[in-house]
Amino acid sequence: MSDTSPVLASGPGECCLKGFVHLGEPKGEIIKIAELDTYIARPPSSADGKRIIMYFPDVWGINGSFQFNGKLLMDYFAAQGFLVLGVDYFRGDEVSKHRKHRNDTTTEPGFDYEAWKAKHIAFADEHVPIWMEAVAKQFGTEETKYAAVGYCFGAPYVMNALAGTMVSAGAFAHPAFLRESHFEKCAKPLFLSCAETDHTFPEASRHRAEAILKEGKRVYHFQLFSGIEHGFALRGNMDDVYERWAKEESASGIIRWFNLWLK
């Protein structure tokens, strides 16, 4: 990426290589869109398919060790009346192929996490716009409204979409790979679901992002959870009452935001 504006959210770190597997049975299926595996979760009513959420996953993708987490979250979004499509821009090479958890050195000794990230960023930067256009062509109509949501690795694709004309609103949780320019170019309503303790998007970065959005008179909403760490919205401990509440509040807040802007 040629953007040289100051970094506000850094890349996924070792903290991203941990989490809790959520229990449940995904209801969607994997299809191909623009030659990429895509998880599709359908709403209860076909009439509500006029609203589409495009989902951009974290480093665990939609088929990794935490595959159920993302799929169950997309199922939840779909149950609220949206057609949800989640892209596998890792093409089956999610991080769990190389590291099972942050302290794992046996699955692939010498795994180069930075090189892995760089490879997949280059691919996703090029192919996400192609995938989005294919989504609109295959599932959209003149009446369809779109939203974008991303977690960690997926956040910049939400912000790129918010700088364009396709989506009506966007949201991210515990983001990575964001620069000041992402917020400067943000032209649509943005929901930011944030953790108090976040190695990628710390307090100073949150405040700077807020200042940029405020200066640009953008429409935005910050959601901040105390005592919560990066990854809470997707890989938190559901046996912990507060972590479960934060995860569920993040998801329901995002849905309320999309309901507001995709009327």
How far apart are the C-alpha atoms of 117 and 90, rounded to whole Å?
10
Sign of the dihedral through C-alpha 59, 60, 62, 66: negative
Kindly write down the DSSP assignment for every residue of 108-120, as one continuous string: STT--HHHHHHHH
Structure tokens at 15: 């903290």
157 near 168, Cβ under 8 Å? Answer: no
CA distance 131 to 38: 10
Inter-helix orientation angle 67-79/241-261, to 10° = 50
Q: Find all residues with CB under 8 Å of 27, minimum gap 6, and list them.
A: 41, 75, 78
Spacing of C-alpha 147 from chain mean position: 11
The three-state secondary structure class of 147 is strand
147 beta partners: 53, 169
Q: Which residues pair with 83 in a beta bridge?
A: 52
CB atoms within 10 A of CB 17: 21
- Please list the active-site residues: 152, 198, 230
